[in-house]
Each structure stands twice: as structure tokens, then as C-alpha cells.
Amino acid sequence: MKKKLQMSTIKKVLGAIKKYRLLLLLSIILATITVALSLYIPIIIGNAIDLIIDKGNVDFDSILPKLLNVGIIAIIIALLQWIMNNINNKITFNVTRDIRNQAFDKLEKLPLKYIDGNSHGAILSKLIADVDELANGLLMGFTQFFTGVVAIIGTLIFMLTISPKITIVVVVFTPLSLLIASFISKRTFSLFKVQSENRAEQTSIIEECVGNIKVVKAFSHEDEAQVEFDEANEKLAKASVKAIFFSSLVNPTTRFVNALVYAGVALVGAFIAIDGGAGAISVGALSTFLSYATQYAKPFNEISGVVTELQNALACATRVFELIDEKEEVADASYELGEAKGEVSLQNVDFSYTPEKELIKDLSIDIKAGMRVAIVGPTGCGKTTLINLLMRFYDVNDGVISVDGNDIREVTRHSLRKNYGMVLQETWLQDGTVRDNIKMGKPDATDEDVIMACKASHAHSFIKRLPQGYDTIISENGASLSAGQRQLLCIARIMLCLPPMLILDEATSSIDTRTELKIQDAFATLMKGRTSFIVAHRLSTIRDADLILVMRDGNVIEKGNHTELLEKKGFYYTLYNSQF
């Protein structure tokens, strides 16, 4: 099962790289050439050294071309390596960009259920960190693996041609360093796990205490927090020393093994050189061997590192492709809903977020064009859910919602949503200028239109006072603005588009009541002739609604206008009277 998953992930990754297969091929060829050439250099140098015997016994005429060759080959290698590096960069960065774009495009098409149901942090890390890891790990891992293998094979061949006997020394002893390395990293893995567990524990304390520093201070909880923190800190430090120390053993021990190999090569090589006869080697060849001996272990160590890197990259790739392969929203119908009159009807609507928990059951409402509908009820009664359905952020499980007689599933989402103006409880602003934010729904609006809309929503006076007025840059969701100001901007945004239907979710909850009073008038104009849905706690804002839907536990339990509902002496009556 796991293998199958890995295979399918690899296939998908290959699919993403397909575009760059020629570059990849070129990179592989270049890698082969540079590795082979760089292995050849020690041989030339060895040969040159052989011509330097002792006083008066130096063959300058033969040395010179050899040394010139070394220089030229070194320059060629350098050039090819640079080209190869650039090609690899290009493949890696382009694949990163491609996959990231693909994942983002997907995100725009996913149902809200996915975005609401997954932590934003997790989705972001797929889009950013995982994609980076995927490209770096897989591509770099692959090229390293490849050059490593070429280097090992190449070195073996070169060594065998010089002296099989010494080669045996190298081949037999080198794996020792690998064994030691893998032995150590297996032990350290569990130590690192302990360390990261302790670190997570500490981070959560930091997040809680520092993130809520005001509460900590309000309750003079600093000392207790410090004790708790120091405990976690101490635990982490103990685990870290162990993890860091043991993992840092890998390099020195493999270096030691390499030193032994080096000594072994020197020993055997010197003996062969002294003995002479068949298979004898020269001093130059010995020096070539010595330089191979130091290099030979390196690709092995690298390859063993690459394997874990590849596994990690593969895990990241799986996560990224999980997102890319996530089921999209049901395809759009082709019918474009024009400017709606604003008749909305819900017929026998059933809906729930999860099958286990039933929410809206058999809900039917008829709303005539231009009606003002207020939705009231205690927290968590399903008001937001209703908005999700009207806007078609979620599809009903059963029943029909229609606008002007059109089932909303039979018109395009865009044309449906364009007919609604929505101001949500949680205000959301984009990075950009104030003007850009207001023009969001109508990019071609003129500055005069924008100012008019802002005046109508009473946002103009505070915008004027911002450092750069309408060109003030808003960042981090408007952190520099007050909640009320943010909401005014969101209202101005709607004022500018004037869609035929409105959804106002606690739209004025953060605005002080005096400002709200001023906005009320603007709203009244805005709502005139427009179907509007208002969610609010404040009874005063919903009193003059044409229809009040009283919701509780996902269902509309009462509906009617204010007077009717009061006469009924039901839930609305209790709710209303509890205010006084």
C-alpha cells in the first residue's frame, strides 16, 4: 500500500518534471563528464610527479604539456560545472514555481469545506515549505545521487587500471565508515525525536504565555509561568546536548576510518612500490591513489544522506499532491444569472457539515424581492450556515435554493455571488491600498465613485486622516486600523458595487453605536428595493425587518415580523425581553 502510494507520487513528480526532461538529460551528461574529468586530473598529476625523480633527473619537456593539460581540464571542468549548476537551479526553481502555481490554482477551486476543515497553517506549509522541500530534495537528491554513483564507479575503474591490489584495500575498508555512520544516525534519530518533542512542548508554553502576556500579567502569573518554562527548558537542554553530541560523532568517526584507509593505501602502495616486479606502481601512482582514497568515501557518505533526504522529499511531495488531487467544487453550470430581482426561496432544505451532526432540516422560506430579512438567535444557532448556503459556499444536501426562480446550482457561482453584497463579522482586508480594497468588487470605479461610496458609509472622514489617505497601504489584514474602521471599509466596498441583494453578518458589531446610527441611514438607502439578510444580536437593528427568522440549533423555529412574534410569546419574546 505504502509502496503503491510512493510509486504514484513519483509518477506525479515525474509528470511535473516532464517539461524539463531535456535539461535534466543535459545535466546528467554534464555531471558524467565533469566527474570523469575531475577523476582524471589526479592521474595526470601522478604521471607528472613520476617524471620528477631527483636532482638533474627531471623530464621538463614531458611535464610541461601534462601540467598545461591539468590547467585546461580544470578550467573546462569549472565551466561545465557552472553550466550544470545553472541548469539544476533552473529545473529546481521552475518546478517549484510550477507546482506552487498548480497547487494555488487548485486552492481557488476547492470547496470551502476543505478550507474551513483544514488548518490554514497546514495548507500554507504544503504550499510553501513542502513544495520547496520537494523540489530541493528530489532534484538535488537525484543529482547528488547520480554524481555520487558516477564518482564511485569512475574511481573504481581508474583505481583498477592502476593497481587492483590497492583497490581491494580501499573497497574493503571504505564500507566501514558507512556502517559506522548508519549505526550512529540510527541511534541519534531517537534522540532527535526526543529533542523535537521537548522543543514542541516548550514552544507551546511560549506561544501560550508570550502570546497572552497581558493575561499573564493581569493575574501576576509570571513566576508560575517561569517555573513551568524553566522546567521545559531544562528538559530540552538535556535532550539537545545528547542529540547534538551524538549526531556530531558521524563526521569525526568517518574521518577516522578514512584516515585508516589512507594509511592502509600508503602501506600497501609503498610495499608494492618497493617490491617492484609485475604490477608494481610508481610513486606518482601512489600519490594518485592517496588522493582517490580521500575522495572515495565522500560519495558514499553523501548517498547515505541523500536517501533520507529523498524519503523526506517524497513525504512532502505526497502532501503537496494530496492538495493538488483534492476533489474540486462541482463544476459550474453555464447559465449566467443576470442582475437579479432578488426573490429568494428555500424549499425543503437539508444541510449539515458532517453527516453525524444534523443541522438544518427541512427549511422552507420564501422571500420576495426587496424584503428585509433579519436572522436572530443565540450563538451557534446556524446563522452563518444560512449565509454559507445562500452564497453557495456550501451546497445543500437536499432541497433547493433558488434566486428569481433559478436553482442556484444551475447558474454560475460567479454570477450568483455578484448579486450579493456581503459584509461579514470577521472583516477581511487585502494587502494593498485603501483604494484597492474598496475597489475590490468594481476595479474600474473612478476615484469620485470611491469617495462617494466612502462618504455614504462614513468611512471618508477617517480615511482622510490616514497618513496617505486613500493610498495608505493596509497590511496584515488592517492591523493598524481599529475593528470599527475595518468594518467601515468593508461596508464601503459594498456601497461601491450596489448589488441587488445584501448579506450583513453582524456588520456593525464593532462600530460604536453613534457611528452605527449614521450608517443606519446609509444602509436604509442601500437596502431600499434590495433583498437583504441581516444577522445581528442587536434587536434595535432588526426590529423593522419585514421578516424575522428566529433560529435555534440550526432550525428556523419562528418566523414573522416583530409584532407578530411578540404576540406569539415564544422564543423571540423571551429573547427580546431578556434584554431588559
Q: Which of residues 319-378 bind other proteins (CB under 8 A)?
A: 378
Minimum Å gap between C-beta 127 and other proteins is 5
What beta strand segments (E) does 79-198 contain? none
Give the one residue of 1, 252, 357, 405 binding other proteins; rule: CB under 8 A. Answer: 252
Q: How far is the CB of 485 from other proteins (least distance, A)?
A: 8
Stretch that binds other proteins, among 15-23, 307-315, 365-373, 571-579 (CB under 8 A): 571-579
Is 430 one of the binding residues for other proteins (CB under 8 A)? yes
141 vs 284, beta carbon nearer other proteins:
284
For the chain, give the number of residues.
Answer: 580
Cα dihedral 184, 187, 189, 192 sign:
negative
Kindly tell me the burial class for residue 247, based on how many C-beta atoms sit within 10 Å of its own C-beta (0-12, 13-18, 19 or more).
middle
Please choose, out of 165-173, 234-242, 332-340, 528-536, the segment that lies near other proteins by the rule CB under 8 A: 234-242
Q: Based on the shown chain and the rule CB under 8 A, indicate whether residue 45 belongs to the binding site for other proteins.
A: yes
Residue 259 binds other proteins, judged by CB under 8 A: yes
465-487 burial, b at 16+ Cβ within 10 Å, e below that, comes to ebeeebeeebeeebeebeebbbb
- Decide: is 574 part of the binding site for other proteins (CB under 8 A): yes
Contact 112, 394 (CB under 8 A): yes
Q: Does residue 165 touch other proteins according to CB under 8 A?
A: no
* Binding window for other proteins (CB under 8 A); candidates: 105-113, 139-147, 318-326, 403-411: 105-113
Stretch that binds other proteins, among 13-21, 232-240, 299-307, 318-326 (CB under 8 A): 232-240
In the set 157, 270, 330, 524, which binds other proteins (CB under 8 A)? 270
The DSSP call for residue 405 is: T
d(CA 369, CA 343): 4
Q: How far apart are CA 210 and CA 195, in angstroms?
A: 22
**Do the beta carbons of residue 317 and residue 345 sit within 8 Å?**
no
For strand 372-376 and strand 531-535, is the pairing parallel, antiparallel, or unpaired? parallel
Residues 6+ apart with CB under 8 A from 238: none
Helix axes 21-50, 141-162, angle to 10 degrees: 30
Tell me which residues in 466-525 interact with other proteins (CB under 8 A): 477, 482-484, 509-517, 520
Task: Indicate the pairing of strand 555-560 with strand 406-407.
Answer: unpaired
Please pick, from the candidates 328, 431, 471, 521, the single residue that binds other proteins as defined by CB under 8 A.
431
Distance of alpha carbon 286 from alpha carbon 177, whole angstroms: 22
Window of 139-147, 229-237, 339-347, 358-366 that interacts with other proteins by CB under 8 A: 229-237
N-to-C CA span, the chain: 64
Q: Which is nearer to other proteins, 5 or 260 (CB)?
A: 260
Asked if residue 579 binds other proteins (CB under 8 A), the reply is yes
Closest residue by Cα to residue 134 from 3, 298, 15: 15
* Minimum CB–partner distance for residue 208 and other proteins (Å): 5
47 binds other proteins per the rule CB under 8 A? no
| Residue 33 binds other proteins (CB under 8 A) | no
Neighbours of 189 (CB within 10 A): 13
Return the residues of window 199-228 that contact other proteins according to CB under 8 A: 199, 203-204, 206-222, 224-226
Instruction: Give residues 83-102 in contact with other proteins (rule: CB under 8 A).
Output: 85-86, 89-90, 93-94, 96-97, 100-101
- Does residue 51 belong to the site contacting other proteins (CB under 8 A)? yes
The SS3 assignment for 62 reads helix
